[in-house]
Structures are given as structure tokens and as C-alpha cells.
Amino acid sequence: GQQLNQSPQSMFIQEGEDVSMNCTSSSIFNTWLWYKQDPGEGPVLLIALYKAGELTSNGRLTAQFGITRKDSFLNISASIPSDVGIYFCAGPTTSGTYKYIFGTGTRLKVLA
């Protein structure tokens, strides 16, 4: 079935640094969603992408829908301590089911 692989798995950065992470698949997606999850909480939607090549921003966050439709990227500029958490990419499968699948997650830790 379709799978989403995220990299890096985890990263430690200094406050103020920019962060980049990506999500790749061996098959095509028509929608990419990026979420942030804090410990003990549900995932919170950050950005939704619907069109190949689309670049969308939400404050310090910018995400792109890859041209091949098999990948997506999330960038965080000028990181702050509250950016700590796990970032997941997700998308609806295109294999005749209704489910959305999630990536393996990128755990971000920000050092003050």
C-alpha cells in the first residue's frame, strides 16, 4: 500500500535557526497535509496543499507540494522553543480507499 516516509526522523536545532523537513512517497498524492503534535494531544493541522508546485505559508511555516506529486516539504523559519513537537505529513490515499495515511514523523527539539 501507499506509505509516507519523513526525514529527518529527529533534529536538534538552536533557537532562531531555520528548519527543513520532507515527506516522500513512492506513489502520487493529490493532497498533502502537515500537522504538529504535542505530547498527549491530537495532531493540529498546520498547512494544506492541493496542487502540484503549490507553495503555501502560515506565519513562519512554508510548505510546498512537490512537482512530481510524490513529495512535500515543510520549512520553519526562525525557530522558537514552542516549535518543539512532532511534525507529520499526511494525505488521502489514491488506491480506492477513504483513509488518510500519515508519515513516520519528524521530532523537532529546539535548544534555547
Residue among 33, 61, 74, 108 that touches another protein (CB under 8 A)? 33
Number of amino acids touching another protein (CB under 8 A): 27
Residue among 50, 57, 78, 81 that touches another protein (CB under 8 A)? 50
- 32: nearest Cα among 73, 77, 1, 75: 73
Q: Is 65 an interacting residue with respect to another protein (CB under 8 A)?
A: no
- Tell me 24's DSSP state: E
Distance (Å, rounded) from C-alpha 107 to C-alpha 104?
Answer: 10
Give backbone dihedrals phi and psi of 78, rounded to 5 degrees, phi first.
45, 65
Residue among 2, 20, 75, 93 that touches another protein (CB under 8 A)? 93
Q: Is 103 an interacting residue with respect to another protein (CB under 8 A)?
A: yes
Would you list the DSSP string of 4-33? -EEE-SEEEEETT--EEEEEE-SS--S-EE
Q: How far is the CB of 42 from another protein (least distance, A)?
A: 4
Chain residues in the site for another protein (CB under 8 A): 4, 30-31, 33, 35, 40-45, 48, 50, 88, 90, 92-94, 97-105
